[in-house]
Structure 1
């Protein structure tokens, strides 16, 4: 969003922007709780702008424009609701009769200008008085500004307004690592460097504004952003009495003590999957220190995203052993919690540090995102039992996405170089002088090759840079073969997908890429110039979902029967349509939607019918005309369940 604001050159404007002083609410309230003139004036300014924006947005929405309807609804749920509900703005101030100018319909550019005015007022109000209600409304306004495209805002003073907004955001984000405020029965209000570095579960930047409201009730239709759904669902942010007790267990190892707090565990399974001989699911004691090497144990402890696992030396927490030195960031994990790294502070609605379970890590934490944790605001693993899921992406999966994105590939390359290469007689001499960030470089390369973002090109220089690392190295076939063997072993240990389709594509690239590396490393080799980074794909377009699994229980047993409706019989999904789709048809589309679920098929019915008619679905041959006719009748009959 900041990129949108910088198009008119507000960087220069920052030098002349007004200086804002950060004031907490308690600093503004004299004895007796009366609001100070500073806060009263700020609230009045917010109400004035909000009244104008609301009236104009409503008028535009009344014209039937879908964008205006969507934006107006967002304004009501994420800006008006917290301000009125929190007593920041009197509802009566917003409902005064509008003047004719306010009733005039507006266009998108003017809407962006009005939203810019609103964002400026709310950001400056929040910078002076960081009440949760004001922060939540500020986050809603900033998100609205992104939706309406701030770069189109009109007005002679648009540069000055952008400069004011950036100055206020600088104040709000002026926390060294970032801060997450846990509002009462509402969203997480996040600000600072950890927010601007927010990534999804694949490691791709989300590019949010410096202040955001993150859904924690699990019901938002705009995940991870809060859309106000918590106000409709009656969400409670209270910790439950039936949570796992807050208790730190210690397990002596040779060089240190392993610590574990089951009351803080988010059940990511990284420890039990990565080192099952030490961290034993379903057994007591949970930790068996003699089951693994010290370096592997520490690696597993460092990988624990909740901070439940730790280490102690001489009775004191050994932060240097288990807390990685990472940049502040918030990861929106897949179907799971927010994972905070880099020392982001977690505070309550009054600005006090949120009470942490014993043995916690100040460097990282996992915050509940499904709304069902027994240990709110921290994740207790309840998302597994609540069947919490993010919206399914609409595109076919890339190898990058199927692998688990950059984090999964980085786990693989770190294991490869730190655990295997260092002890290997053939490869250790080859990589003796590698840079400390070499695992990150290789993970970035694999990410880009497998269809992810252009991480290697952006960070390290693209194909020419990669080729330059092999020139004159005189790589041998033995080294090439060992490199593949150990990288595949690391992929197993890192938990990369083991299905035949992914591993065929993965191994195929390793064979292809390493043979080219050997070729380019020979004496006198002249690799072609200007080549792009290769993009690898599934072998013969065989994706994991295109083949029914042979494993027991992998496919539902209630395979629907085909029933042809009579000519005068209404066509229903359960009775007549569901059975038209075979398990293999369902599997081939499962990544996008479920062909055995009425709502999914109804939503995509027109597209499905088009593909059935042109023979592109299913992939092994067109349907008979009578089956296509049944599906078309179902659509015409109103897509009945």
Structure 2
């Protein structure tokens, strides 16, 4: 439950401003070249190994994504800004508590603001921003989470960098099927060392860089990856995801813990004394612990010291049952606030660990407790094999069996069509169970993995709750034999 050592962790660097900013060189109609010292992680927050010099693809065609393989040369990639781009215009919205700043010309359309704080950010409506629609701390968090740097906030009519940005070490996150998300005041320069021009009001601490090759606002992302259907390679799509992966990885868990320790702990008279002396990077430590417990990389062990370290923070705390219960309740609420998956299978596993882990913490915190030494970090899995694909859903659409969908069977000489004949074979529960890897309702995705899917169908191991009838397998095989998988 706690880890309050005041030593600096790797996710907090108060001295970052004192050092020369790391740089990314934007090669003309070529790749991004990174200076040493800029960490690279995937969309789950897992470090990506790379040999220097690091060259990141930005034409979208590399066969070794995210790294450049010089495909931009063969493609004739150009990095000119498109005249159709959204104009560079900074809008200022005045509210009762603060001013919110927005530049639609900088937006990467990640939807973090509209999805998480729709009382303030109105999708498809004018005015787009209603600054008085939420608490000040929620406004600040929403602005800081904007990966493109299009949003800003200030108590007065000027953007306040201290409120709008956070202090982070240099890092690039390779978002799933989307842009490079750069944080930590990394400087973008051209081949001659001249800073790349940014739109009005853009953050100097974070930005989203195009990697699909189609942005209208190169080198920055304009959201065109949605339009062109940009996708990353799918590793082993039939493997069951870990809880860590299903949750959204370290970034999602960190979002949850930040909400928990900023929104719920300070205002609760039972919990605030327990965490009164916690270090500023405490949310990062708890997110790293949960990442490792839920099947992710050994983030807590490598950064902070493993199980012995965690247990040492509970000894002598004498955590009371009512404090534990509140901690668990608020943690589950924070998972809702952060948008973690709400499916019953994930929540059963998540709540089970929150209950189990917090009760162990109470036990270890007793005055006479002697926790067993040298225990491993627990590794949590789906509860009783209650994986996302393990049951039919009770929701009306999900409950319809394939035989009830009215699939139109093609004639002997009729071409098999995906939308008409194949897509209806896959139920919503089948689709949901594979969304972590690809979409069974998208022809391009199914065509790309048709051989693997057919092998599982023929073996009777897909779907997990019962094999398809032979005529349905034959129909899919007929379609798969005629379709050409995308490159």
TM-score w.r.t. the length of structure 2 is: 0.83
- CA distance in 1: counterparts of 2:176 and 2:104, whole angstroms: 22
Determine which of 413, 426, 429 is the counterpart of 2:273. Answer: 429
| Aligned position for 1:208 | 50
Q: Secondary structure at the match of 1:410?
A: helix
Determine which of 462, 465, 473 is the counterpart of 1:620. Answer: 465
5+ residue gaps in structure 1? 1-174
Whichever of the two has the greater Rg, that structure is 1
Question: Is 1:241 matched with 2:89?
Answer: no
Query: Cα offset for 1:449?
Result: 0.5
- What is the CA RMSD across the aligned residues, in angstroms? 3.4
Query: Cα offset for 1:509?
Result: 1.0
Query: Cα offset for 1:177?
Result: 3.3
Query: Cα offset for 1:300?
Result: 1.6
Query: Cα offset for 1:287?
Result: 1.7
Question: Is 1:599 matched with 2:447?
Answer: yes
Once structures 1 and 2 are overlaid, which stretch shifts more, 538-547 or 476-485? 538-547
Aligned positions of 1:81-230 closer than 5 A: 176-194=20-38, 197-230=39-72
| Aligned position for 2:316 | 472
Q: Deviations over 1:400-437 (max 9, x none)?
A: 11111111111111111112101111100111111221
- CA distance in 1: counterparts of 2:480 and 2:147, whole angstroms: 47
| Aligned position for 2:146 | 304
| Aligned position for 2:481 | 639
Q: Deviations over 1:357-393 (max 9, x none)?
A: 0111111111112222221111112222222222223
Per chain length, whose mean CA-contact separation is higher, i.e. which structure has more relative contact order (CA < 8 Å, sep 6+)? 2
Q: Secondary structure at the match of 1:199?
A: strand
Determine which of 487, 508, 511 is the counterpart of 2:355. Answer: 511
Q: Secondary structure at the match of 1:456?
A: helix
Mapped contact 1:571–1:630 kept (Cα < 8 A): no
Determine which of 288, 293, 308 is the counterpart of 2:135. Answer: 293
Determine which of 223, 226, 246 is the counterpart of 1:384. Answer: 226
Determine which of 105, 111, 117 is the counterpart of 1:263. Answer: 105
Mapped contact 1:595–1:601 kept (Cα < 8 A): no
Q: Deviations over 1:65-93 (max 9, x none)?
A: xxxxxxxxxxxxxxxxxxxxxxxxxxxxx
Query: Cα offset for 1:571?
Result: 11
Determine which of 478, 493, 502 is the counterpart of 2:337. Answer: 493
Q: Secondary structure at the match of 2:265?
A: helix
| Aligned position for 1:608 | 456
| Aligned position for 1:462 | 306
- CA distance in 2: counterparts of 1:257 and 1:586, whole angstroms: 42
Mapped contact 2:99–2:154 kept (Cα < 8 A): yes
Mapped contact 1:560–1:579 kept (Cα < 8 A): no
TM-score w.r.t. the length of structure 1 is: 0.64
Query: Cα offset for 1:349?
Result: 3.6
Q: Secondary structure at the match of 2:176?
A: coil
5+ residue gaps in structure 2? 1-18
- CA distance in 1: counterparts of 2:154 and 2:423, whole angstroms: 59
- CA distance in 2: counterparts of 1:376 and 1:363, whole angstroms: 18
Once structures 1 and 2 are overlaid, which stretch shifts more, 299-308 or 571-580? 571-580
Aligned positions of 1:330-345 closer than 5 A: 330-345=172-187
More helix by share: 1
| Aligned position for 2:382 | 538
- CA distance in 2: counterparts of 1:250 and 1:276, whole angstroms: 18
Mapped contact 2:57–2:68 kept (Cα < 8 A): yes
Question: Is 1:446 matched with 2:290?
Answer: yes
| Aligned position for 2:5 | none
Distance 1:560 1:594, change over 3 A: farther
Stretches of 4+ aligned residues off by more than 6 angstroms: 552-558, 562-566, 569-577
Mapped contact 1:238–1:376 kept (Cα < 8 A): yes
Q: Secondary structure at the match of 2:360?
A: helix
Query: Cα offset for 1:595?
Result: 6.2
Mapped contact 2:97–2:132 kept (Cα < 8 A): no
Distance 1:590 1:282, change over 3 A: closer
